[in-house]
A and B are shown apart, each in its own frame.
Chain A
Amino acid sequence: MEILVPRHDSPATAPSLWPAVRALFGAIAVLAASAITLRVADAVPGVVRDTARGVVRYGTIDDVERVIGRRLPTPGYYPAALEWPPGDLRVYLGKAAAFWCRTRDRGTLALIVAVTPPGDRALAAAVLPRAVVLQEADAMVGGRIARVTRLSAADGTLWHQVEWAGARSGIVARSRGTLEELMLIVSSLRE
């Protein structure tokens, strides 16, 4: 039978800090590994559903308007090639919202309209796909100053974006079409 001698019964030696330090570092390692594992597990639904953290997807415009407590701007002019109503609606923290419109034939993403609370336009980033700004300039839209941007999406496609402060909310419209077509859509948006 193997009888292991308890460590604290060993001959007296000078107290060492090493066991405590080792225990502390071990605990920190477990804490870090747990945090990373939890964060990875947390990212799974977002990856599966293609949404950022805090973004919830809804099925209808009514649902979104109920959640954010205000109306979504809808375009009076709308290209016939795009599906309507949009099937992909996203809300971030109950504040920012966006509808993503795809083409009827191939289902390619073609137009996104996002709204944010007034003065909190940075929230729009959560409901828009990532893109790199290539060029930007100011322009007049419906008597208001707007920021017009040319973007490169993650898949390399070129997009145009118009962003301005509306009467009750900040609005961002992003289109894969021409800038002229986007301007027509933007000018027809009803808040």
Chain B
Amino acid sequence: MVAYAGQAILHATVAALVLEALLRLWRVRDPGERFRLRWVGLLSPSVTAAYVLFVPARSTDLFGAQWALFAGIRWDALRVGPFGVATTLTTVFAMLGIALYLRDAIPFLADRTGRETADETLPDSHPLVLRLRAHLDAATAPRSSLFVDVTIVDLDAAVLMCTGVDRPRIVASTATVEHLRDDELRAAVEHELEHVRHRDPLAGWWLMAVRTLQCFNPAIQILGRQAVVEIERRADLAVVRRGRGAALAGAIRRLAAAADSRSDLVSEQGRASLTERVRSRAHRHAIDDRCERLIEAGVPAQTGLSPWHVGLAGAMLALLLFFVV
């Protein structure tokens, strides 16, 4: 089990680094394309499992000595006290992976399971619901086939997100709808609609499922977070393309300033510090960075990343990882 865990962590780390190199070399800047390529890395543990289960020859000493490019077990020859370096690193990285997993999984599950039972929702005839509905109808008008429910919960905290795999719904709080100006609310709704259009709530569940299965794997946790960032950037860029980047930046700043924000619009991209103070600073920096990108940066060109590219990256990784034991 420890051997599999060590190999899965090693494989995912190699996959993450190789994909990062490919993203730069192929100059993939479009977040939708980057998201597709990140999935190749997220699926690397399944390749590891297939190799461990179906190619037992890879686990022999002979393969490790004569064929492997890298054999993690060899690092156990170096000792850290009574333990080998490979075993020690596997243990340390597994603990790091679990910490990263819990840090995101607990709020994710709490948001999706606890909110609606605990919070009071406003009736459909409420003026705030009608206001949000009007913005939603205006935003969906060009795509009339898109049907999205609206729920407003009576909360002082700023909440705005889309949920629902089969029946998409935009959930907002009274504080959000009250605080945002019309143009900001429209931009925020368009951002959420972009998530609906790409079925991102489903992608979110898939991501969380992979992260749960690999909860010990820090590389998968980081790849999962990067994938979420790409999803958010893709939705941001869709709003920028419609000329509402500045309004969305305004909405983000306003929601970030509100106490106890719970929205993917103000998700902490890049938050990685240990102490609350540093975390909060990093959070602010990430928000500023995101807003700046919404206002200043252009829409990156698509590189035309095709299934062929994704297949090539996957095949290349599968080949490389075969020789990493």
The residues of A with any CB-CB pair to B shorter than 8 Å are 1-8, 19-20, 23-24, 26-27, 29-31, 33-35, 38-39, 41-42, 44-46, 48-49, 51, 53-54, 56-57, 92-94, 126
| Contact, CB under 8 Å: B25 / A8 | no
Q: Collect the chain B residues with CB atoms within 8 Å of residue A33's CB.
A: 21
State in angstroms the CA–CA spacing of A6 and B145 once bound together. 27
Q: Collect the chain A residues with CB atoms within 8 Å of residue B71's CB.
A: 42
Q: Collect the chain A residues with CB atoms within 8 Å of residue B64's CB.
A: 54
In the complex, the chain A residue whose C-beta lies closest to that of B324 is A38
Q: Collect the chain B residues with CB atoms within 8 Å of residue A49's CB.
A: 77-78
State in angstroms the CA–CA spacing of A29 and B298 once bound together. 30
- Nearest CB of chain A from residue B248's CB, rounded to whole Å: 13
Per the CB 8 Å criterion, the residue count for chain B at the interface is 41
| Contact, CB under 8 Å: A42 / B68 | yes
Interface core residue of A20, A38, A39 (most chain B CB under 10 Å): A38
- A–B complex contacts, Cβ < 8 Å, 6 sampled: A2-B298, A4-B300, A23-B26, A30-B22, A39-B70, A126-B65
Interface string of B57-74 (1 = CB under 8 A from A): 000011011101111001
In the complex, the chain A residue whose C-beta lies closest to that of B74 is A45
| Contact, CB under 8 Å: A7 / B301 | yes
Partner of B66 from the list A34, A35, A53 (CB cut-off 8 Å) is: A53
Partner of B18 from the list A34, A44, A46, A51 (CB cut-off 8 Å) is: A34
A53-B65, A54-B66, A94-B61 known; A23-B312 Cβ under 8 A: yes
State in angstroms the CA–CA spacing of A54 and B22 once bound together. 32
Q: Is B75 an interface position by the 8 A CB rule?
A: yes
| Contact, CB under 8 Å: B302 / A34 | no
The residues of B with any CB-CB pair to A shorter than 8 Å are 14, 17-18, 21-22, 25-26, 61-62, 64-66, 68-71, 74-75, 77-78, 85, 245, 295-304, 308-309, 312-313, 316, 319-320, 323-324
State in angstroms the CA–CA spacing of A126 and B62 once bound together. 12
Interface core residue of B69, B78, B295 (most chain A CB under 10 Å): B69
| Contact, CB under 8 Å: A27 / B313 | yes
Q: Collect the chain B residues with CB atoms within 8 Å of residue A51's CB.
A: 77
State in angstroms the CA–CA spacing of A56 and B64 once bound together. 12
| Contact, CB under 8 Å: B77 / A34 | no
| Contact, CB under 8 Å: B69 / A1 | no
A38-B69, A45-B77, A53-B65 known; A27-B22 Cβ under 8 A: yes
- Nearest CB of chain B from residue A180's CB, rounded to whole Å: 37
Main secondary structure of the interface of B (DSSP, over half): helix
| Contact, CB under 8 Å: B65 / A6 | no
- Nearest CB of chain B from residue A14's CB, rounded to whole Å: 15
- Nearest CB of chain A from residue B282's CB, rounded to whole Å: 27
State in angstroms the CA–CA spacing of A148 and B262 once bound together. 80
In the complex, the chain B residue whose C-beta lies closest to that of A91 is B61
A26-B26, A30-B25, A45-B78 known; A35-B304 Cβ under 8 A: no
Partner of A35 from the list B245, B302, B320 (CB cut-off 8 Å) is: B320
Interface core residue of B68, B297, B301, B313 (most chain A CB under 10 Å): B301
State in angstroms the CA–CA spacing of A103 and B298 once bound together. 72
Q: Collect the chain B residues with CB atoms within 8 Å of residue A30's CB.
A: 18, 21-22, 25, 316
State in angstroms the CA–CA spacing of A57 and B76 once bound together. 11
| Contact, CB under 8 Å: A7 / B298 | no
| Contact, CB under 8 Å: B298 / A4 | yes
| Contact, CB under 8 Å: B309 / A23 | yes
State in angstroms the CA–CA spacing of A45 and B79 once bound together. 10
Partner of B75 from the list A19, A45, A53, A94 (CB cut-off 8 Å) is: A45
- Nearest CB of chain A from residue B241's CB, rounded to whole Å: 9
Q: Collect the chain A residues with CB atoms within 8 Å of residue B65's CB.
A: 53-54, 92-93, 126
State in angstroms the CA–CA spacing of A111 and B43 once bound together. 52
| Contact, CB under 8 Å: B301 / A4 | yes
| Contact, CB under 8 Å: A46 / B303 | no
